[in-house]
Structures are given as C-alpha cells and as structure tokens.
Structure 1
Amino acid sequence: MQDNSAGAWPAPNEGDWRRLVEASLSGKPISGLAAEIEPGISIDALMAASAAPPLSSRGGKAWTRLQRLGRAASAETIAAALATGADGFDIIVAGSAADYGDGLTPAELEALLADAPLDRCRWRLSTGSDGEACATIVDAAATAGRLDPQLLSISFGLDPLGAIANGQADSEDLQTLPTLVARLAERGYAGPFASADARLVHSAGGTPAMELGYALAAQLALLRELIDGGLPDDIAVGAVDVALSADEEQFVTIAKFRAMRLLHARLLAAGGLPRRRLSLHAETSWRMLAAEDMHSNLIRTTIAALAAGLGGADSLSVLPFTSAIDSHDPEAGRLALTTQAILIEEARLARVADPGAGSGTIETLTLALAEDGWRRFQEIERDGGLADAAAGKRLRAEIAEAAERRQAALASGTGAIVGVTHFRADVAARQEPRSVGSSFETTGLRPRRTSAPFESAAS
C-alpha cells in the first residue's frame, strides 16, 4: 500500500464511494439497497458515518449467558448447563410473556429450586400472573438454604402488565406490586424486581417499534405504581428491567436495543427521575424458528445472539434450535450456550463498547425506531395506559395487522424463510410442531411462529 500522508493524490470522498458501489451493482439502482423495516421506517446501507458516542458499555465485560429452564428442567439440567459455561438461568413460568408451551407451574418451580445452587450463579424469572407466588417460593428456597439475600443475584421478573395484556389478570393485580417489591427489598434482595417484558408483543407478530412502545409504556406504568406506592424514586427506577426479543434481522435488532436505551433515558428525563443505567435482557426470537429444516435455526439464533450482544444486552438467553418441535433436547440446549461462548470467548464481541455507534446506518435506524416507539408509547398513554381496555384493544389490532402483513409478504414471495418458503429441502423432515398452549388465545397476543402456516400447508 502506498503512503498518501503528503497528499500526493486526492483522498476519496463519498461520491467516489457511491460510484464504486453503483459499478458493483451491474446497472441496478443504488436505491435498491434500501429496505423497508416497517411502514414509514427504512434502512439505507449507504448512510454516512456519524460522530455519535456509544450509548452503552459493559466495561469490557461479557453479557450474562443465561440458559432457559422450562418444564423438563432438573438439578441435572442445571449442573450440566453450569459445566457448559452458563452464567445463570432464565426460569420460565407458565403463562408468562416468554412461555411458548414449556413453562413451569409454581409447584414445579418450588421442586426445582429445592436443589438449585441459588448462590452460585445469576437467576432471572419470567413469572406472568403468578409473580407473587413465585417470589415467595424463591425467598423460601433462599431461607431454607440459609442464604443471605444480599449475596444472591436474582431478577424476579414480576410482570403484572403482561398478565393484564394476555387476559390473565386485571388492573387490581398491579396495585399489589409496591407492597411485594418493598417486602423483597426489605429482605435484602437487590432486584430488579419488576419487568417491562415486551417479548409477548414480538412473539405475537408486532413490529420493533411496537415492541419498544409497549416496553416503554410498561416501564412507565410500573414506575408510576411503585412511586405512588411509596418507594423512593431511585429505588423504583432500579427495580424495573426491560426484556426484548432478538431476531435474525441483525441491524434492526442492534438498533432496537440501542433505541430502548435512548427511550429509557428520555422517559427518566421527562419524569424528572434519577438517571440510572437500564438493565436490558434479551431472548432470541420464538417466532423466527422453523419446524422444518430445523438446523437453519442455528444460523438464525446465532445472528440474533450476535445482534443482541452488539446492541448492548446485559443478559441473553438463546432458544435451542429445536424449540419449535422439542424444547427439551439436551444437545440443542448445549449448542445454545456454545453459541454465546463462541461469540464472547472467540469472536470477543463483548470487548467493544456499542459497535453500532458511529455507523450512519445504525444510528439513523436507531433514531427512527426510537421516535416511532415514543409515538406508539404516547398513543398508549392517551388511551389510558396499558392497564386500560382501550389501549389493549388498539395494541392487539396493530399487532394483528403487522402479523398479517408479514404473512402476506411471505405468501407473495416478497419475503422469504429459507428452508420453508425458499430453498426447501425435498427430504426435509416433517415433524409436528409442539403446541404453545391457549393462554393467549382470547386476546390475540398468543405466540405464533411466522413459518407455521407455510409448514402446515406443505405436502
């Protein structure tokens, strides 16, 4: 390479760059590189670099690798996951926002925690309408093991808004939250205690902006309830985390997680609340998983995990690639953890603070998603908040419309699912997808895999 430090020839500019791109497209217009993410939001691959600073940093540390624990979990499952590199566990309770048909009952949770090493790793719960019962079970297990709550790392995942949204509870259940959080805090647990869990919006078919709008509205409702219930502002802000889904749309997922941090900061500033770093959990998408040609799911979950990590997730749970058929496959569970280990230990992705910062494309998409998420959040608030029936009705209608729009794109061929609608293997195994249950059926916020209609229609 020749040295141009003396300016012997002109430095290339953006016009030169674009001309090279046009030449590589064989006569196709450069505008064809743009892609619509959702109505009104597009991504342009050729946006100029920005000088934006990082939105978040884990200080060079890796995100927390969580292994999902559902109905088939046992002491042996936990021991095997710890030996494989898990930092902790995401325990899924039946009826929660992350229950895809394999959630534990409170009784099963109690049996599981009887032998669980609560003091050896990180724990996160997704509890649904059984939040108080699950919190009591966790506290009882800690007491029985003579463990100091101050030394434990547990996120309780109390999600009354999710239970209201899926028809399992009403607004009165939200009113008991401050007392429960205060009780747990007095016992010495550090939290977070409540969760603005938007995974149910994603799994039901919602767009990234819908997911963000719901998460912000849930966060505000939880903060309002905790502060009105007597908790100090700084305690209330630290008591709530956010959970989002990560899917195979790499740049969109990176931007979505970055946008959530922008929205969190804007919400705290608007409410005059103390600034505090958001605790942000990620789970790879249920809806993107295919029941046919299941090994293609390994690529999808790897992209999703990479994007969540680059987007700044503090903890991550990767769904096993067989989850559409069997959520209890030990080898698939091991690969889910190994995926994270490779990204962290070999690719060293966690060493970089906010890799999306400075990318014109990522920054522009981040801002667009944040603005649309804020707009949707304001609509929910104008309707009376997430606990109000009007807000729930609007949200369900918008999610259903987005899901139908995605299905229509796949049916027309403008969208694609490799291995299902495109490049389908003639010898692909035909297995019956497992049921995700009926807890969401009455409201329309039920988990739905995008590929399912095309699998069932295939002969």
Structure 2
Amino acid sequence: MTSVTDDLRLAADFAPATYDDWRKLVDGVLKGAPFEKLVGKTYDGLKIDPIYPRARGAAPVAGRPAAAPWQIMQRIDHPDATMANAQALHDLENGANGLTLVFAGANGAHGFGLDPSAEAITKVLDGVFIDAGIGIELQIGPQSRMAAIHIAEYVKRRGLDPAACDIRFGIDPLGAGAVWGSSPYSWPEIVPAITGAIKGLAAMGFKGPFAAADGRVIHDAGGSEVQELAFVLATGVAYLRAIESAGIALEDAQGMIYARLAADADQFLTMAKFRALRLLWARVEQASGLVPKPLFIAADTAWRMLTQRDAYVNMLRATMATFSAGLGGADSINVLPHTLALGLPDAFARRAARNTQLVLLEESNLAKVSDPAAGSGGIETLTQQLCETAWSLFQEIEKAGGMFASLEQSLIQRKVAATRKVREANIARRKEVLTGATEFPNLHEAQVAVLEAQPIVLAPYGEAKIKFDPLPPMRLAVPFEQLRDRSDQILKKSGARPRIFLANLGTPADFTARATFARSFFETGGIEAVDTEGFADPAALANAFKASGAALACLCSSDKVYAAQATASAKALQDAGARHIYLAGRPGEQEAAFRAAGVHDFIVAGGDALAALQDAWQRMERA
C-alpha cells in the first residue's frame, strides 16, 4: 500500500491541470452547444459558474470564533404553559443550550405560540436557570409585545442579575408591519415606543441585544437572498437611527441590534448569505463611524421549504440548512421540527430537530474551523455578488426614505412578489423540486403524528391606520398539497382515489422510463396511476382500460413504439370511453396524427405540471 507521500510524488509526475484544459474537455462534450448552458442563475440573476479557481488572498469573515459552537436553540411554542415548561426542561436536559420562546401572534408562530401573559411566562420558565449560560430568544408580535416586559420583570422578581441573562428580546415592529401589511402608528410614533422599551430594559441591567432585523419576513414570503439581506440592512439601520435619536451613543446602540436569517436547503447560497450579511453590516458600521464588531446572527431553518407530504424529508432539508448556516457563521440556530407544517410537533419531532444540531456539532465537529468557506472560489464569488447587489437594493430603500417608507410605497413588496411569481412557476414546472410533494410522491404514506392543542387567541392590536401591501408567509408545496388533500377526501368518502390508466405499449424496456415519469407526474396531484404490463393489441388495451375504473389514460412508451402503435392505441382508448388521453413525451413531427387519433395533451419534463393536474381534476369533476 502506498503512503500519502508516495501518492503526492506520483501526482507530481503529471502536468498540472489548468482551466483551459478543463474547458477543452467540456467543449468536446457540449459538441457546439453554448457554454452558458452550464452557467446557473439565482433568483437575483447572479451567475453561478460550473467551476471556480481558488480565491487567492481571501480572509475569513469575522464572526463566530473558531471552535466556538453556535447556540443550539429549541423552539418552545406550546399554547399550554405547563406543557411548554415540560418541553423546555426536557430540551435543556437533552442537549439544547438555548430556548426560542415563540409567542402567539409572532411572525414565526405558524398558528400556535405561547401565551404572552405574565402568569403563563412564569409557568413556562419554572425551573429554567436563565442566568446559567443558556440563550433565550423571544419571537414576539405586536399582540404579544408585553412578553418582553414580563420576562424582564420575572428576572427582577427572581432576584437574578439581568447582565447574567443572555436574552435577545426580539423587538421588531417593522417586521410585524411588513407581514401584516398595516400599522396602527406612523414611524415617528413607533420610534419612541421601541426606544423607550430598549432604554428601560438597558436601565434594568440587560445587555441585549433588544431589536431584531428579521430576514425571515422576506424569505417566508418567497423573496430572494438579495431582498432578504437588503431588508435586514435597512431594518437594522432604521433601529440604529431610532436608538441613537433617543440619546443613546452609537457605540452602545451597536450592540443592541441583532439579525435573524432563514436558512434553507440551498447549501452554497445559504452559506454565502450569512457571510455576506456580516460584511454588509460591517460596512454600515464603518459608514456610521463605528469600529466593526461581529453582528449576532440567529438562524431559523426555512418555513417555506417544509412540506406536509413525506414530512420526513423535511429532516434532510433541515440538516442541510443547519449545516449551511453553521458553516456560514450563524451564532444560534433554531431548527423547525419536520412536522410543523402539519401541526404542533410531538416529542419525536422535537428530538429530531434538537439532534440535528447535536450530531453536526458533536460528531461532525462543524464549529471547529472559523469560516471554512474562506478561499473557496465559488462561495467567495457568490458572497461578493450578494454583497454588491444587496447593497444597491439597500441604497434604493434608503433613497425611498428608509424601511417604513419603502413599505408604504410597496418598493420591497413589488420585488418580492415578482420573485415569488417566478419561484412558484418553477415549482409548478418542477424545475425546483420538493421531494415527496412535487416529485416521487407516496400516495400510501402513513399519517404523521402531531399534538392536539388549542391555539391562543389574542385581542386585536389597534386600528390599521396605515396600510400597505402585506408580505404573508407561504410554503412552496401548498398547490400540490391541495390536490393531494382533494384526493384524500375522495378516498375517505368513496374508498378509492381518482385514477389514471397507464397505457404502456411494448415491452418493459420500451415503456418503463416514461411510465415511471407519468406515475410520479400524476400522483403528485393525488391521481393514482394504474400500472400495466404492456400491450401490443389495441383491443386488449381497451378492455384493460374499461376494467381499471379509470377516467383518464396516458400512453407510455418509446418514440419508436409510439410511431408504430400510438395512433391505434389512442383510438382504442377513445372508443373505450377515456375522457382525456395523455401521451408521455414530446410528439415531434407526429403531433397532428396523435391528436387526430384522440391524444389531447403531452406531458413532458419542464412542462407546467401543476396546470396539467388542475386541468385533469376539472375534467374528472365535470364528468
């Protein structure tokens, strides 16, 4: 067996490979096709090349120190305070070193959340030693804003040292207004309220940070990385100015603000986004005459990527998101349990969320190296592109008068809406894949358990005197899930799902690829595929279709077999009563002949699957 030294010596006998060498090989494979086919683009239009050289001279982005692990936050959102307390104690005893207290009415509550009353908070924190080094992060909304004050009073009542409590208070009226699309107060009226709360908490001895610039507002609404970064910058600057206007020195205000970003399953973009925010905020600090200090960045795994169907895949998405945020330098990470889109997560889902972080930290040692992406050509380039483009959008927001004014003018909302529209189109065409929801569905998956709980209902918060376009949260899988829900209802009512007959022609070698594609295509919409062993005789095909009980049919085979059998087979299916006949694949020059024989539509990769499925449902329901 050769040693590492021998291997290196052997490698030295070969000439070093260059970019030009690689490009010649690639051009040979492309055979005249443009190289741009290999260049990807983000939703912001940023180019992603297939290969990058090492970034020479790149320095690590200042953030979480090497070997300093991020805080393992665990979401506490059970409406029953006693149950929430039991969950909090269990989480802290089993690896979590921080609690994200999600109150009803907060942007991230997603239907549940804690009761913000002083009595409930006392129950939730019973037995929790909040001055013993654990992190506490509050996610509050206008209706639950008093939770921050109640927790401060709880600390005082317990006789604890506020400076020993690591509490991020989560004050964020801009984020709440952006999601709601309204505000009872103007920005000049909001400023004294938030600065008064911050000054009061600081006077009690809390070290903060107090105000949160929350990028999840943009990410949850379907926005892009650049839009999320610009929103965080503009929101953070608005709070920085507000705090300074209250007579607090900028050097002190600097530590009173923190950021929150969404981490999703796109590894490179997530890593680059977290790195970019640090560089962008340092630029803000320098422009303000401050010496840059590492901004505290909290991460939440993304809401919009969660699916109700095949929910266990959410574990994989969360793992990639946690991996990316951790390597990108997040100071704390809160993993959304994999069943959150279905309801209130149970003990197993909470344990999986907690252990996702524990495994990556304790077994994979992800925190041992500070900014491991430093010097990576691809990530360094992407980081720089995000910085430049987000800074331009931030300047646009500033020219509009700042964050609140830009919301009034729908500046950021229009941009997010445009991005969301493109994103939804890519989901519909399955260019952006959600495994288990838009691809590879399982119509027979077992039901996933969630807890039964009664959500907290809070009183309305003020009259919406100032209105603007809202940025409501969304999940990408919802349009496909709605079709699956209709299928489940029919199954429950009648004992059978809507069906489509796969009219497989020829041998398995001929039809398997397209039959597999067709099965996945239709079952993502809840239309069960009836498979067959293959036909050569149109009469036998027609009889099998009649016996299947299906209303729709889809021809599946190779182009060669289609040329010989598709016309006769389509006529036979039409005569047998098929309401709508599809053909899997592109028809090419035979489209007119196929349509004349009874084929109505062609399903292909990259086509609008959602529109085709919605049309199929309409046809079945009209019959």
Do both proteins adopt the same fold according to a TM-score greater than 0.5, normalized to the shorter chain?
yes
Q: Which shows bigger deviation, 20-29 or 236-245? A: 20-29
Larger Rg: 2
**Which amino acid in structure 1 is aligned with residue 242 of structure 2?**
E
Contact 1:254 1:311 in 2 (8 A): yes
Alignment RMSD: 2.8
**Is 1:387 paired with 2:387?**
no
**Aligned mates of 1:162, 1:80 — CA distance in 2:** 31
- Give aligned-pair identity as a percent: 35
The aligned counterpart of 1:66 is 73
The aligned counterpart of 1:119 is 131
The aligned counterpart of 1:173 is 190
**Aligned mates of 1:452, 1:186 — CA distance in 2:** 46
- Paired residue for 2:43, among 31, 38, 47? 38
**Aligned mates of 2:13, 2:374 — CA distance in 1:** 32
Q: Relative to structure 1, is the Cα distance of residues 332 and 169 closer, same or farther in structure 2, using a 3 angstrom cutoff? A: farther
- Paired residue for 2:474, among 416, 431, 448? 448
Contact 2:44 2:225 in 1 (8 A): no
Contact 2:169 2:210 in 1 (8 A): yes
**Which amino acid in structure 1 is aligned with residue 20 of structure 2?**
G
**Aligned mates of 2:291, 2:36 — CA distance in 1:** 44
Using the TM superposition, give the Cα deviation of residue 39 of structure 1 relative to its aligned residue in structure 2, in angstroms.
Answer: 3.8
- Paired residue for 2:155, among 124, 137, 142? 142
**Aligned mates of 2:87, 2:28 — CA distance in 1:** 54
Runs (5+) with no aligned partner, structure 2 = 1-5, 488-623
Contact 1:67 1:86 in 2 (8 A): yes
Using the TM superposition, give the Cα deviation of residue 80 of structure 1 relative to its aligned residue in structure 2, in angstroms.
Answer: 0.8
Runs (5+) with no aligned partner, structure 1 = none
**Which amino acid in structure 2 is aligned with residue 151 of structure 1?**
A
SS at match of 2:318: helix
The aligned counterpart of 2:15 is 10
SS at match of 1:388: helix
Using the TM superposition, give the Cα deviation of residue 396 of structure 1 relative to its aligned residue in structure 2, in angstroms.
Answer: 1.7
SS at match of 1:195: strand
**Aligned mates of 2:107, 2:343 — CA distance in 1:** 19
Q: Relative to structure 1, is the Cα distance of residues 133 and 39 closer, same or farther in structure 2, using a 3 angstrom cutoff? A: closer
Using the TM superposition, give the Cα deviation of residue 11 of structure 1 relative to its aligned residue in structure 2, in angstroms.
Answer: 2.5
**Which amino acid in structure 2 is aligned with residue 46 of structure 1?**
I
Using the TM superposition, give the Cα deviation of residue 227 of structure 1 relative to its aligned residue in structure 2, in angstroms.
Answer: 0.7
Matches within 5 A, 1:54-93: 54-56=60-62, 57-72=64-79, 74-93=84-103
Deviations 1:54-92 (A, max 9, x none): 103423111000001113452211111012100111111
Using the TM superposition, give the Cα deviation of residue 177 of structure 1 relative to its aligned residue in structure 2, in angstroms.
Answer: 2.0
The aligned counterpart of 2:530 is none
Q: Which shows bigger deviation, 217-226 or 402-411? A: 402-411
SS at match of 2:60: coil
Q: RCO greater where, 1 or 2, for CA within 8 Å and sep 6 or more?
A: 1
Contact 2:175 2:217 in 1 (8 A): yes
Q: Relative to structure 1, is the Cα distance of residues 187 and 13 closer, same or farther in structure 2, using a 3 angstrom cutoff? A: same
**Aligned mates of 2:25, 2:406 — CA distance in 1:** 54
SS at match of 2:74: strand
**Aligned mates of 2:326, 2:338 — CA distance in 1:** 18
TM norm structure 1:
0.92
**Is 1:182 paired with 2:208?**
no
Using the TM superposition, give the Cα deviation of residue 99 of structure 1 relative to its aligned residue in structure 2, in angstroms.
Answer: 2.2
**Aligned mates of 2:220, 2:457 — CA distance in 1:** 14
- Paired residue for 1:301, among 296, 318, 321? 318
Contact 1:97 1:197 in 2 (8 A): no
**Which amino acid in structure 1 is aligned with residue 149 of structure 2?**
T
Q: Relative to structure 1, is the Cα distance of residues 384 and 391 closer, same or farther in structure 2, using a 3 angstrom cutoff? A: farther
Matches within 5 A, 1:60-459: 60-72=67-79, 74-107=84-117, 108-120=120-132, 121-130=134-143, 132-165=145-178, 166=180, 167-170=182-185, 171=187, 172-388=189-405, 391=408, 393-429=410-446, 443-458=469-484, 459=487
Contact 1:383 1:390 in 2 (8 A): no
**Aligned mates of 2:481, 2:32 — CA distance in 1:** 37
Q: Which shows bigger deviation, 189-198 or 237-246? A: 189-198
**Aligned mates of 2:15, 2:144 — CA distance in 1:** 64
Q: Which shows bigger deviation, 18-27 or 123-132? A: 18-27
**Aligned mates of 2:366, 2:226 — CA distance in 1:** 26
Q: Which shows bigger deviation, 436-445 or 334-343? A: 436-445
TM norm structure 2:
0.69
Using the TM superposition, give the Cα deviation of residue 195 of structure 1 relative to its aligned residue in structure 2, in angstroms.
Answer: 0.7
